[in-house]
């Protein structure tokens, strides 16, 4: 491992601490790194961000003085602890030596002793010579044991999440479910392919294996799981090798099928369509005579959307760059609208390690206001009898049930449109029996605009 990768990772972490977007900054770093170093760089950055609350407790535990307030020093210690505690392939002496070199270069010669002393103390207790994985886990848990009487604090620190979010989940679902949700935020997400257009998932999996990869059919009828955490270039090659494939979590695949079950009369609009996985699914299940308009407001997102649909659903959509709050369409023109709007993303935190630290207690309510405004605009565009499909990757009631309740008060012409299972709203929680194995958290709902001849009886 080259020190240059650590230096680049440190630069990214410092920039994120200063307000940069973690995903975007990592993408920039990957463009600078040698291809062979990309996976390591991603692990260093993502792991340091994901586990920062846990590492901050380790730093505080081994600091003889007050933990450092210097953002460079803090980022360096998190980066080094991730190598010591999570990366078996990194020799402890290499991680500590490089940390000292980086401290000398970035924080000043006077900080080298502090960094070396703290990391050596952490190594002796948490990664002693000859200790196996179980012994190291036990040593780490022992370090966190003093926090256990304060259950929310322990969960938040051990699982590295904002404590207010852990408390919110415990209040809503109880301690056991909350702990499961906390653990899910740190479970590496599998790579699921959504097989569209009537292709055979077994044939797709066989093609991946024939090309030297590892894959299995499922979970679900349309998914193929890529085993072994394939690299980005390998995934791109798989997508390019066969039309009608998109990377899409198995929960989202199941939710998309549940949302779109039933008659689909066009034209349709995907109001916030990027990155395009749900739009690709919709394009394949709509009648070929039903136009599908896909929309997003940001140029970079539009480029990603077009790339996805050109590959997975060529010639099936019309792309329009516009703001969903100000859509350039006449009222009551669409037979169906999909709204998968911007949300807090608490069901998919494992995909965006710095996202958890950007959340605030006010975030769900703030996002809910935008979601309600978007849903209200969508209702204006829906013709009588048309369907509104609502989805978020949030687990928070403000962005889901509360938005729909407020929308129906504002738009009484919108009524529930139950699926075959009798439900018109569904929540998928990670680890639940009704959630695909390894799947994300998700929320979806089905509404329909009453026709002019329908009464109000039988409303849910």
Per 3-state DSSP, what percentage of the chain is helix, strand, and coil (rounded to 5)?
Answer: 50, 15, 35
Measure the CA–CA gap between 314 and 99, rounded to whole angstroms.
Answer: 49
Q: Give buried/exposed letters for 232-268 (b at 16+ CB in 10 A, else e).
A: eebbeebbeebebbbbbbbbbbbbbbbbbeeebbbbb
269 Cβ neighbours under 8 A, 6+ residues apart: 292, 293, 294, 295, 327, 329, 334, 336, 337, 338, 378, 381
Measure the CA–CA gap between 296 and 317, rounded to whole angstroms.
Answer: 13
Q: CA distances (Å), 394 to each of 152, 342, 428, 435, in order?
A: 21, 9, 10, 15
CB 391 within 8 A of CB 443: yes
Q: Give buried/exposed letters for 371-408 (b at 16+ CB in 10 A, else e).
A: bbebbebbbebbeebbbbbbbbbbbbbbbbebbbebbb
Q: What is the DSSP letter of 323?
A: -
- pLDDT at site 64: 76
Give all strands (DSSP E) within 350-398, no chain letters: 382-392
Residue ranges, the chain, pLDDT below 50: 1, 458
- pLDDT at site 271: 98
- pLDDT at site 1: 45
Q: CA distances (Å), 429 to each of 185, 220, 252, 257, in order?
A: 11, 16, 12, 17
Neighbours of 172 (CB within 10 A): 13
CB 433 within 8 A of CB 387: no
- pLDDT at site 3: 67
Long-range CB pairs of 202-211 (<8 Å, 24+ gap) are 204/242, 204/245, 207/241, 207/242, 208/238, 211/237, 211/238, 211/241
Measure the CA–CA gap between 3 and 41, rounded to whole angstroms.
Answer: 11
- pLDDT at site 228: 72
Query: What DSSP string describes 201-231?
Result: HHHHHHHHHHTT--EEE-SSSSEEEEPS---
- pLDDT at site 186: 96
Measure the CA–CA gap between 249 and 338, rounded to whole angstroms.
Answer: 18
- pLDDT at site 237: 87
How much is the pTM? 0.93
Query: What DSSP string describes 385-440?
Result: EEEEEEEES---GGGTHHHHHHHHHH-TTEEE---TTS-SEEEE-TT-TTS-TT--
């Amino acid at each position: 491992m080259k020190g240059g990768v650590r230096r680049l990772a440190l630069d990214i972490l410092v920039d994120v601490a200063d307000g940069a977007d973690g995903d975007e900054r990592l993408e920039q770093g990957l463009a600078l790194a040698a291809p062979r170093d990309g996976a390591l760089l991603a692990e260093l950055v993502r792991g340091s961000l994901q586990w920062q609350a846990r590492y901050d407790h380790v730093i505080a535990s081994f600091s003889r003085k007050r933990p450092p307030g210097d953002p460079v020093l803090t980022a360096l210690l998190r980066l080094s602890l991730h190598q010591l505690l999570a990366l078996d392939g990194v020799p402890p002496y290499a991680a500590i030596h490089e940390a000292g070199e980086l401290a000398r270069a970035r924080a000043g010669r006077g900080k080298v002793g502090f960094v070396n002393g703290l990391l050596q103390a952490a190594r002796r207790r948490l990664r002693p010579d000859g200790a196996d994985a179980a012994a190291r886990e036990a040593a780490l848990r022992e370090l966190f044991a003093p926090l256990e009487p304060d259950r929310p604090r322990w969960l938040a620190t051990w699982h590295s999440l904002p404590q207010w979010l852990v408390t919110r989940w415990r209040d809503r679902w109880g301690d056991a479910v909350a702990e499961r949700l906390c653990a899910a935020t740190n479970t590496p997400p599998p790579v699921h392919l959504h097989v569209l257009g009537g292709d055979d998932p077994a044939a797709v999996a066989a093609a991946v294996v024939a090309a030297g990869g590892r894959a299995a059919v499922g979970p679900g009828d349309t998914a193929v799981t890529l085993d072994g955490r394939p690299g980005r270039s390998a995934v791109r090659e798989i997508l390019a090798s066969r039309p009608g494939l998109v990377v899409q979590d198995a929960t989202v695949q199941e939710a998309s099928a549940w949302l779109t079950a039933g008659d689909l009369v066009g034209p349709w609009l995907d109001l916030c369509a990027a990155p395009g996985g749900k739009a690709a699914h919709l394009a394949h299940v709509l009648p070929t005579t039903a136009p599908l308009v896909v929309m997003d407001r940001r140029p970079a997102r539009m480029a990603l959307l077009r790339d996805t649909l050109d590959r997975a659903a060529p010639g099936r959509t019309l792309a329009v760059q516009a703001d969903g709050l100000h859509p350039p369409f006449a009222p009551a023109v669409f037979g169906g609208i999909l709204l998968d709007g911007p949300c807090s993303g608490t069901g998919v935190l494992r995909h965006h390690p710095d996202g958890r630290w950007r959340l605030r207690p006010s975030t769900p309510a703030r996002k809910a206001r935008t979601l309600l405004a978007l849903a209200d605009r969508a209702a204006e565009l829906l013709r009588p009898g048309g369907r509104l499909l609502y989805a978020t990757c949030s687990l928070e009631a403000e962005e889901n049930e509360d938005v729909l309740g407020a929308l129906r008060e504002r738009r009484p012409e919108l009524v529930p449109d139950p699926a075959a299972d009798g439900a018109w709203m569904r929540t998928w929680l990670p680890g639940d029996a009704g959630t695909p194995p390894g799947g994300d958290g998700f929320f979806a709902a089905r509404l329909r605009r009453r026709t002019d001849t329908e009464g109000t009886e039988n409303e849910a």
